[in-house]
Structure 1
Amino acid sequence: MTDDELNQDLEERVITLFHQSLEAKMESGEILAPMLVAASQTLVHALLSERKVLVAGNGISAANSQILVNCLTNRFERERPGFPAYALATNPTAITAFASDTSFNDIFAKQVMALGQEGDVLVLFTTSGNPSNLIQAVAAAHDRNMEVLAFTGRDGGNIPALLDEQDIELRIPVDSRARIHEVHLLSIFCVCDLIDNQLFGPLEA
């Protein structure tokens, strides 16, 4: 295979990946739209009640957690007051202490128990729905009378069975981890847009 042929194959693969991403987003959007509205309303109610948002995830999902927190505490697409939100995967001192003293499974639950209050919201990001530290975080949130928004993928894993009636699961119905992360990111932007729209009105063009 010549260099030109190789480059053409790689370029075609890039185009295929873009198409797969678009297809995953379109398929998920039809399913997620009402749940994204409900999730945004849950967060708006908490913020108007002077409650806070705790966000957790592992790996790339931890990065998505930080993006959500940045969009809430700083800004999304307009200047506005910041909202109280905390990413639970960003403090290596706390995480390594919890993991060393007890178990890695406790790294989020202990923070939820320490920081969470009734009326706060716990937001989770996971492609599989199975990480033990997120499962423990759900239990801790319920102990604190917090609502849970769980962004999952595939078949949802173990987390859906743990959710209460007031909780919301936003499941991405695809198998690819990359596509799930991409739709999670788009969902974050949708939720932030809906929050700003509800609190401050439509953004003028």
Structure 2
Amino acid sequence: MTKGAEPKSLTERRATVAVDDPRGYDDYREKEEVRATLVAEQRALCCYCMGRIVNDPLKMKIEHWRCQEHHRKLQLDYSNLLGACLGGEGKSPNEQHCDTKKASCDLKWNPANPAHAIESRLRYLADGTVESADQEFNAQINDVLGLNLAHLKSNRKAVLDAVLKWWRSTPNARQKVQQQIDHRINAAEHQPFSPVAVWFLRQKLGGAAA
């Protein structure tokens, strides 16, 4: 996930309000434009769980990586805005995930900041668990983002199982791995949880055993 150019309306909004105006973002009327831009650049995937998002205020959120409550000056900073799923909004706290569970907590790394290299910090287990070797971030994956809820693990496991089946059933699969990676990452709209498959394929490209 890489940030692109921000919507013109956001640039204009920032020029008309004080950077720490408490209503600066809340009164910004062109959020539809931001949602559309985020969905496009994130290839229709939630910034955290990698589930599907669509440009609809009832089906996705504009997430502030650094929350508005504690980082008011970043409320209109496009590099701080991400597209997130609803994350179990309205459900009990132990069923919530992504932005809904995160609330005003801070995260160590931003998935849209190339310098944070999020993809290289994650790994996936056969049961669909996502984890990090960094203890602080690993705790945030579970306690702040709730990314190992049963249904999320199940969705990731299904992707892992499918790409493992491809690997084992395709003649000369190793010679076709890069083609598979390119196909998945260059799609205008990614399949939900497809970065999990890309991670698996890159392990194989690096010579991991079957």
Q: TM-score, normalised by structure 2?
A: 0.27
The structure with higher relative contact order (CA 8 Å, sep 6+) is 1
Question: Which of the pair is proportionally richer in helix?
Answer: 1
